[in-house]
Amino acid sequence: MSKQELHSFHIPVLGLAYSIDTPVKVARFGISSVISIMDDQLIESMRKYHCELTAQDYFPITNKEDDYRAKRITAYLDLVDKIVKQQIEDIRELPFEGVNELIKYFELLPDNAAVKNTFNRMMALNEGEEKQNLQEELRSFITPGAIDVNIMSKIDKTNFDAAGNELPLEYSDALAALRGYAKSGLTSSVIFSAGYNPRLYNYVEQFSDFYPDVNGRLKKKIILKVSDYRSALVQGKIFAKKGLWISEFRIESGLNCGGHAFATDGLLLGPIIEEFKNKRDELYNELFDLCRLAIAEKAIPPFLNKPGLKITVQGGIGTANENEFLLEHYSLDGTGWGSPFLLVPEATNVDDGTLKDLAVAKKEDYYLSNASPLGVPFNNFRKSSSERQRQERIDKGRPGSACYKKLLTSDTEFTAEPICTASRKYQHLKINQLKEKALTPEVFDMEFKRITEKDCLCEGLGAAVLVKDGVPLSHNLSAVTICPGPNLAYFSGIFSLSEMIGHIYGRLNILNATYRSNMFINELNLYIDYYKKKLETGINLNPKQAKSLNTFKENLLEGIDYYKNLVTFFKKETAQYILAMKGELDNAAAILVNLKVACS
């Protein structure tokens, strides 16, 4: 047996709060997960909470300290690392008997893992030297899952001191977050998501942990979340030319995911992964040659062995067969399961009220909204308390939110200093501007809805863990925003960690009775709906816009043809399943063919 990652899945970042301490909950079972490090106020609250929970001294890092954002992040990550390491030591001391976390560690593993077979063989033996030797061997395999972190690259506002003076560049939100991670003692990865940020990517060069050490190893690795092959190649080359190696490309479905949805130009997940599969060696060799040259020019230690490059995928996976097919057919190194873990209190942080609503939610309760101040489509939940609060504010004639954290401030239409489009200030100014125009009631109502649909994600995405754990709320704001992917519609109930992992590995099935198409079909249908909305709003298109929409449609039709060929490789699905999938593909193609782009 070799020591490697024993689980084939990871838990991606979930909002600001839902996975903020997930490593404390699951890393001791060898499960990797991702913490958002965008909200330093929330992070400081959670550091205080976990210090008290583990009887450790807590010394506040106030916003009066220099570089407090980075310091808070470093302190919290070091605390999480310390807690997880202690948990691993404690597990290794437990006996291989009864019901305990040592037994659970091995029971959670996939049944085809070599170490799982060793565990089962050991448990079947009578007491004796052979059993004792196997137990010691198994204890040596107990390693924690990765404590990875996520930075949304575009969330990078410039900050100011108490006197209103602009702080140096390195104090911006994303750069300070990176510095906080880089200065921590973690050996793990940072995931860059949500687009290209030149100053952030350049800033990575400042930290030696991202370069090979004297043994040719990376203490800290870089993962890029990407939507397609071209994005991976372009961004990978940017880093490689700096001597920085990308250890993983994490492909995410454009629309069948949680949180913000970054739609492609109609490129579907299956063809995207196929391109990675076919060009994997080409990608590796081009990036490695560039990286090796840059490292040599910088006169830093070289890699003694070629570094690994993982390709993983996430977004809308729902069954063990889908999970296994992705890993085997596309030769992937892992998969991400996000939204389903919102129904697992052992793994994530969802307050009781929201959890109960999620557990009985219907398909129509999940929708793609325009709630995000970033101007990017945002997966939303109709029954959330933040959605109720947003409507109550409108009904009271006071739409918009008080803006305290200012993580998403970017609009300068009315003010010199950027403000958030979800803020009460912005919406008040924008609605007054609307009233000055001679608009019909129908147009006014449509514009009013567009303005007031923006909601405060800074507070809403961080509230759940504070409510759940009884931590003092920021400005007493308890309304919860939650952003599951549409795939959660097929899961109902509240599940244990063992049940969810058992579902992923095919030991049991926890899907509800709602008819569920293959994950590729579900994403295709989401793209068709997205395309229809583009056509509905695309009045008086110019030739360039019309060409873009036609390209979108052509990419979808090419994706359908790809899937028609792919179904022959689904060896574990029934003939009825394959027949239904072919019918759904034919129907999708017929719908698209009948959708016409009107050009002025």
> What is the SS3 string spanning 39-57?
CHHHHHHHHHHHHHHCCCC
* 10: amino acid identity, one letter: H
The predicted structure's pLDDT at residue 4: 56
**Mean pLDDT, rounded, for 283-302:** 96
**CA Rg, the chain, in Å?**
25
- Residue that has been written with the tokens 């016409």 in this structure: 596
Q: Concatenated DSSP letters for 496-552?
A: -HHHHHHHHTTS---B-SS----HHHHHHHHHHHHHHHHHHH-TTB-HHHHHHHHHH
Query: Please, which pLDDT band fits residue 545 given cuts at 50, 70 and 90?
Result: confident
Task: Give the model confidence (pLDDT) of 367-402 as tens digits.
Answer: 999 999 999 999 999 999 999 999 999 999 999 999
Cα dihedral value 318, 324, 326, 327, nearest 10? 140
In the numeric block, which tokens belong to residue 110?
Answer: 């996939």
In the numeric block, which tokens belong to residue 94?
Answer: 């437990």
Q: Concatenated DSSP letters for 569-584?
A: G-TTS-HHHHHHHHHH
pLDDT of 130 over the 70 cut: yes
- Residue that has been written with the tokens 């001191």 in this structure: 161
pLDDT of 355 over the 70 cut: yes
The predicted structure's pLDDT at residue 1: 36
Task: Round to whole Å and give the CA distance between 313 and 328.
Answer: 12
Q: What is the mean pLDDT of the chain?
A: 95
Mean pLDDT is lowest, of 155-164, 538-547, 556-565, for: 538-547
Task: Round to whole Å and give the CA distance between 66 and 71.
Answer: 9
Which positions ≥6 away from 554 have C-beta within 8 Å? 266
Query: Please, which pLDDT band fits residue 76 given cuts at 50, 70 and 90?
Result: very high
Q: Tell me the CA distances in angstroms from 547 to 10, 383, 552, 597, one per residue in order.
A: 39, 38, 9, 9
Closest listed residue to residue 531, CA positions, set 594, 485, 451, 582:
594
Query: Please, which pLDDT band fits residue 3 given cuts at 50, 70 and 90?
Result: very low
The predicted structure's pLDDT at residue 2: 41
E-state strands within 141-268? 147-152, 189-193, 221-226, 246-252
pLDDT of 133 over the 70 cut: yes
Task: Round to whole Å and give the CA distance between 474 and 491.
Answer: 31
Handedness of CA 479, 485, 491, 496 (dihedral sign): negative
Task: Give the model confidence (pLDDT) of 45-59 as tens digits.
Answer: 999 999 999 999 999
The predicted structure's pLDDT at residue 536: 86
Task: Round to whole Å and give the CA distance between 118 and 323.
Answer: 24
**Mean pLDDT, rounded, for 141-154:** 96
Percent of the chain with pLDDT over 70: 98
The predicted structure's pLDDT at residue 476: 78
In the numeric block, which tokens belong to residue 134?
Answer: 């196997």
Mean pLDDT is lowest, of 62-66, 184-188, 238-242, 518-522, for: 62-66
**Mean pLDDT, rounded, for 451-462:** 94
Exposure letters 422-450 (e unless 16+ CB within 10 A, then b): bbbebbebbbeeeeeeeeeeeeeeebbee
Task: Give the model confidence (pLDDT) of 413-434 as tens digits.
Answer: 999 888 999 999 999 999 999 9
How many C-beta atoms lie closer than 10 Å to residue 514's C-beta?
11
In the numeric block, which tokens belong to residue 146?
Answer: 């990765």
Task: Give the model confidence (pLDDT) of 559-575 as tens digits.
Answer: 999 999 999 999 999 99
The predicted structure's pLDDT at residue 161: 85
SS3 of residue 331 by DSSP: coil
pLDDT of 600 over the 90 cut: no
Cα dihedral value 104, 149, 383, 353, nearest 10? 50
Enter the pTM of the model: 0.95
The predicted structure's pLDDT at residue 24: 98
Task: Give the model confidence (pLDDT) of 251-268 as tens digits.
Answer: 999 999 999 999 999 999
**Mean pLDDT, rounded, for 503-522:** 97
